[in-house]
Amino acid sequence: MASDLREELNCSVCLNIFSDPVMLSCGHNFCRVCIGNVLDTQDGAGVYTCPECRAEFTERPALQRNMKLCNIAEQFSRQSGQTAAAILCMYCVQAPVPAVKTCVQCETSLCDLHLAAHNQSLEHSLTEPTVIMGNKKCPVHNEAFKYYCTQDAVCVCVSCCLAGEHKKHDLELLAEASEKKKEDLRRNIEKLNARKQQIEKMDQELSILQEELKPKVDGITKRVTTLLEDIRDQVDALEKRVLGEISRQSEDISHQISDLMKQQEMEKEELTGKIRRMEELCKMTDPITVLQGWETHRADDDTETEVKVPEIQTMKT
């Protein structure tokens, strides 16, 4: 049961349990890094293919994360990690001895002692101790993987190379291909570390800017507040002066008008008296009295009859 589950959880590219599994539109799952590398090698080919079913895509397929499969793979990896130390040499029957390697062809785990004798057969491939061998063998020919097809980015057996679908493809020994991939990974790690350092440096610079920002803002706020308070004080003082001047001019003009009105009232009373006396003369029947009275009031004929409003000092604006 565990063996069957392990095979279902193996990435067909790296042959390990899925790490961050993603799914193509054809339904097959791969590690995100593995399928990304495969698609990278196919960028210049004009067509992309699924390493499992060979389905073709005219455009680089989108990768959709398989969350359920990711959770299952992580849980299985944790459980497998707890039992990995229990893998024992299958030839040590007297006492349990931890295995150091597993032979893919023999499907047996060996300790150091039995591994020395086993190494006399140079055709066999060895892996780290494991209880599962299905992911180390070709599912088509049931033979141990021997080579790596660079064109399809998959591990293949000898039969795949001679008569299978990988015939005439560019091949590399597993160890050689693995080392190249490790070198690619190391270069990627260097790039990612460099980028990480840049981000950390930027974080430090941003933190410094953040720390410097508050005192700068406080200083600017204080200066602006002081400036606005000074402007308000000046405006208040100006308002007080202008309103005071308006009030003073208003009082001066009011006094002028009052004085002129008094003068006009006096002149009006004087004119009223003259008019009354002249009207009395007009009512008299004695010619001598009329003529003598006329001589008295004759000068009034030269008085300017048009009345004009006197000039008054206006308010200055």
Six token digits for residue 193: 């570390």
**pLDDT for residue 84:** 47
State the pTM of this model.
0.38
Q: How many residues does the chain have?
A: 317
Residue 52 and residue 28 in contact, taking contact as beta carbons nearer than 8 Å: yes
Q: Which of 236, 254, 233 is nearest to 314 (CA)?
A: 254
Six token digits for residue 114: 């039995």
The region of weakest confidence among 49-58, 73-82, 282-291 is 73-82
Residue 46: how many CB atoms within 10 A of its CB? Answer: 7
Is residue 317 scored above 80 in pLDDT? no
Residue 277's contacts (CB-CB under 8 Å, 6 or more residues apart) are: 293, 297
H or E segment and range at residue 236 = helix 174-283
Chain-centre distance for alpha carbon 99: 52
**pLDDT for residue 302:** 53
| Residues 72-88 pLDDT 10s | 888 887 766 544 445 78
CA distance linking residue 316 with residue 306, whole number of Å: 29
Structural fold of domain 1-83? Herpes Virus-1 (3.30.40)
CA distance linking residue 279 with residue 272, whole number of Å: 11
Burial of 161 (0-12, 13-18, 19+ CB in 10 A): middle
**pLDDT for residue 1:** 45
**pLDDT for residue 156:** 86
The region of weakest confidence among 114-118, 190-194, 227-231 is 114-118
| Residues 201-231 pLDDT 10s | 999 999 999 999 999 999 999 999 999 999 9
Percent share of the chain, pLDDT over 90: 32
| Band of residue 100 on the pLDDT scale cut at 50, 70, 90 | confident
